[in-house]
Amino acid sequence: MTRRRWIADQVSGDRAILLGRNAEHLARSLRVRVGQEFEVSTGQQVRLGRVVQVADDRVELELGDVVSEAGAPKAGAARAKAPHIVVLLSIFKFDRFEWAIEKVTELGVAEIVPVIARRTDTHLASAAVKRVERWRRIALEASQQSRRVSPPEISAPRPLKDALEAVAEIRTADVSVPALKIVLAENERGLTLKQVVAENQKSGNLIALAIGPEGGWTDDELSAFIAAGWTAASLGNTILRAETAAIASLAVVMSELA
């Protein structure tokens, strides 16, 4: 039976600590006992964890062996590095926006940048900054459910201009400036997302993908994307809801790069 996986809130040496909602769920709902074992992600690796202390707001585990990841290559076999996917997700109705966060997290997105677009409702834009911690909690829970090593980063909401600049400045140890930046556009008829990804498979493992709000991007916003080096692409002839477009686009990208 597959062990349940938790992402540690704190790690010190061979000890991991779960706090808040995770600890409460373990202690009260699952009635965890000392000695039970789970998989625990430290953010860098997944290890076997044995419960050594339980309280309603804190569960401490002793970390043991490193756990082999599901889908790890056999000895001597090479595995392609998973793509680092950054999603610019325009803010729309919160219930559907949060559902989109949950699903793109399950699909493996690395970063989510909430964008205040021209057509984002002003009330949603003003309330969004207070929802960030909730969005991060949703992503954490979805990451544990889908057995990720760590949740995606979710930044504070920002205007499109700032979001484009943020993507252009991405630098980490194993990725550089996005080699492939795609904005989904309803009026694009020449290129599909599948074509763009298929034609650029060897351009790098960092991909940025932008999903517009209800009503789509304005012409000025699309012009800003193109000026920043993004490629416009479509998901086909049908008009999709924003949350559907987010899930469909991630599925296309992951399928093409598998």
Q: What is the pTM of this model?
A: 0.84
Of the listed ranges 52-61, 119-128, 174-183, the least confidently predicted one is: 174-183
Residue 97 pLDDT more than 80? yes
Count of residues for the chain? 258
pLDDT confidence of residue 70:
42
One-letter amino acid for residue 99 of the chain: W
Confidence of residue 186 (pLDDT cuts 50, 70, 90): confident
One-letter amino acid for residue 241 of the chain: R
Task: Give CATH for domain 84-257.
Answer: 3.40.1280.10
Q: Is domain 5-66 classified as CATH 2.40.240.20?
A: yes
φ, ψ of residue 38 in degrees (nearest 5) = -140, 165
Share in percent of the chain as helix, strand, coil (round to 5): 35, 25, 40
Mean pLDDT of the chain: 88
Confidence of residue 83 (pLDDT cuts 50, 70, 90): confident
Residue 176 pLDDT more than 60? no
Q: Is 122 helix (H, G, I), strand (E, B) or coil?
A: helix
What are the extents of the domains in the chain?
5-66, 84-257
Residue 172 pLDDT more than 90? no
> Per-residue pLDDT tens for 1-23?
577 889 999 999 999 999 988 89
Q: What is the H or E stretch that residue 183 is in?
A: strand 180-184
Region 196-218: mean pLDDT is 86
